[in-house]
């Protein structure tokens, strides 16, 4: 299975090892992906891992092998979830992303 990371730059800050994903399939990591590059990079993907790259109904219709989109953020507003559901594509996100960081950021002092 082909696994495509569309915006690896957001992940590659030197503290994450994405090589563990290679055990699930052929891993392709792109630092950034423009809308015009989505098809050429994701056309054979079974899994897409993204952060900011939009996947609308038109794009999803052209990705017949796609089974999963994992959004590396709390929301999934960059994905047309209704179109994904119609095509049987599972969409997931990271609902608790940053919770500990926000909770431990310190007290807010108001005057």
Domains detected in the chain: 2-98 (3.40.50.720)
Provide, rounded to the nearest whole percent, the portion of the chain with pLDDT above 90: 60
Q: Which of 75, 44, 38 is nearest to 59 (CA)?
A: 38
The dihedral sign for the CA sequence 77, 79, 83, 87: negative
Q: What is the pLDDT of residue 99?
A: 60
Q: How confident is the model at residue 22 (pLDDT cuts 50, 70, 90)?
A: confident
Query: 87: which 2 tokens?
Result: 């095509």
Give the pairing type, strands 2-5 and 26-29.
Answer: parallel
Pairwise CA distance, residues 28 & 76, whole Å = 22
Is the pTM above the cut of 0.85? no
28 and 47 Cβ atoms separated by less than 8 Å: no
Q: What is the pLDDT of residue 111?
A: 46
Q: How confident is the model at residue 58 (pLDDT cuts 50, 70, 90)?
A: very high
């Amino acid at each position: 299975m082909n696994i495509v990371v569309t915006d690896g730059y957001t992940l590659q800050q030197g503290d994450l090892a994405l090589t563990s994903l290679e055990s699930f399939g052929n891993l392709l990591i792109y630092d950034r992906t423009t809308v015009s590059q989505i098809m050429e990079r994701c056309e054979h993907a079974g899994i897409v891992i993204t952060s900011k790259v939009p996947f609308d109904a038109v794009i999803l219709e052209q990705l017949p092998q796609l089974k999963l989109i994992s959004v590396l953020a709390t929301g999934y507003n960059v994905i047309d979830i209704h179109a994904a559901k119609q095509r049987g594509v599972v969409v997931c996100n990271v609902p608790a992303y940053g919770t500990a960081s926000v909770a431990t950021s310190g007290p807010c002092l108001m005057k």
